[in-house]
Chains A and B, each alone.
Chain A
Amino acid sequence: MKSKLGFVKEYTKGLWENNPVFKQVLGMCPTLAVTVSAINGIAMALATTFVLVFSSIIISSVRKLIPSQVRIASYILIIATFVTIVDLVMKAQFPDLSKSLGPYIPLIVVNCLILGRQEAFSSKNGVLRSALDALGMGTGFLIALFMLGGIREILGSRTLLGFQIMPDFYEPWLVMILPAGAFLTLGLMMAYFNSIAINMKKKETDKIIEQYKKSKAAKTIEAGA
């Protein structure tokens, strides 16, 4: 199945209408677990994007060589290679960040977002499209994790990216840096974005109905005349 979208659209669809976190609800484990602070969210999303883009490029370029019976194992092998690269680089260059993300960096291997995109997209599309799709999904993931981590960091520890932005008299909500806070924040954000999407859709349909009514009215007037 060839995708019929333009190249730009292939990238931008991951930002909003197919956002991996808010619309596809993929990769929930890192989304909920590491977003205690905005910096953790950014690091996690960048690591995931790196793995996603490069495994998409490799897999889409060898997609015709992989027998379909062993495709999952092959995908995992390719993904695991890049995860190992990320893991080692982070340990060497950013030891603090690597420590705070803990086991979630190696766990990118089993992130359903990555395997999901390979299965749904890279195995059926060309290299350029797959790379754009992966980059878009990664950016969407980054936006979602940054927002989630930012909100939790502001409410749970008064800071954003390490800078204090809430006044001293504000008492931090401990619940926000606990798992319960992750579920609450994500749930409320999803509800909010869904309501925006529903409103947008409603406006669109209203517009179409309006146009239809106008054209019909015009036609009847014409016919009457």
Chain B
Amino acid sequence: MNTITANPSYKLELAASPHVHSRWSTKQAMWLVLAAILPMVISAVVFFGLYQLLIIIVSVGFCVGTEAAVKAVRKRKISIGDGSAVITGLLLALILPPNFSLSSTAIGAIVSIGIGKEIFGGLGYNIFNPALVGRAFLQAAFPVPMTTWSQPNYAVDSISSATPLSAIKFDKVSTELSNLFLGNVGGSLGETSAIAVLLGGIFLIVIGVVNWRVPVSMTLGVIIFGGIFWLLDPAIYPNPLFHIFAGGFLVGALFMATDWVTSPLYGKGMWIFGAGIALVLVLIRLFGGLPEGVMYSILFMNAFVPLINRYTKPRIFGKEK
């Protein structure tokens, strides 16, 4: 590569296209994402105990190990330094239920990197978000442990309990928004505390590592689609704010759907992508057999990303007549 463009004293672009550069290199951006995930890690440990740290370490360890092993077998350059395997491991751990078994976590991590990413050719070639692939596999392989939720430390002492989403779906019990916001509810490790997720997510948007369009369009989509049903019958359907703060929506919107590799390239496409996720999510949550649908809705829309990119490609010169 021609490195002339990196020197600010040159006013004229001399290198071949692309001329628009991101502010951060892949490596730098990955470490910034790691920093943004940190509040979720802290909230997981605070609310669910130190054991969760073990889950996170096992998940990260096996993700990095799998990546190194695959690269070694395929005789490619070891690329752990870019931090993407660490992020996948962290995100996978944070969307697992608390007190999940360590051996199953390891299986999920191997599947995430092996089947979710490396089988397609490594970073940049995967179609589906690797962490979500791992979780989907675990959900199919171990359905019972994957839906056993423990209450956080500061709640009324009960061993296992429903998440806010399953409570409203199966028992018609709503949860206080303030509890959802702080994270004092049952749920996956990293998703329960809205404040910790928002802290990291907004940091990423402000420094420009992730594009704001996907989270914003997802949120607007959920408010619109969820709002329509809420207005139809507030007694049966939860209000849109509940949709946003309960379950994995914020983690999904800020950390999963915004994955650079598996989200659309162009602005218009991002809006379509976000709205599509929101629609599928609301349908699964309100009418599907499962209480939560963030994972499946994102994986579902991931499959459409190449198509969306194709139809939203901006024209280079002029406009259509």
Residues of A within 8 A of B (CB): 171, 173-176, 178, 180-181, 184, 188, 191
Contacts and interface: CB of A to CB of B under 8 A. Distances in A.
7 contacts: A171-B103, A171-B104, A171-B142, A175-B140, A178-B140, A181-B140, A188-B115
B143 interface: yes
Secondary structure call for the B interface: helix
Contact of A174 (B101, B119, B142): B142
B54 to A, nearest CB: 18
Interface in B101-122: 101, 103-104, 107, 115, 119
Contacts of A173: 107, 141-142
B137 interface: yes
Contacts of B104: 171
A176 B141 contact: yes
Contacts of A175: 137, 140-141
Interface of B: 101, 103-104, 107, 115, 119, 137, 140-143
A132 B101 CA distance: 52
Contact of A191 (B119, B137, B140, B141): B119
Contacts, number: 21
Secondary structure call for the A interface: helix
A124 to B, nearest CB: 39
B285 to A, nearest CB: 22
B115 A184 contact: yes
Pick the most buried of B107, B141, B142: most chain A CB atoms within 10 A of its CB.
B141
Contacts of A184: 115
Contacts of A181: 140
A160 to B, nearest CB: 19
B121 to A, nearest CB: 12
A188 B142 CA distance: 20
A173 B115 CA distance: 16
A166 to B, nearest CB: 13
Contacts of B119: 191
B113 to A, nearest CB: 14
A178 B143 CA distance: 12
A180 B140 CA distance: 9
Nearest to A172: B141
Contacts of B141: 173-176
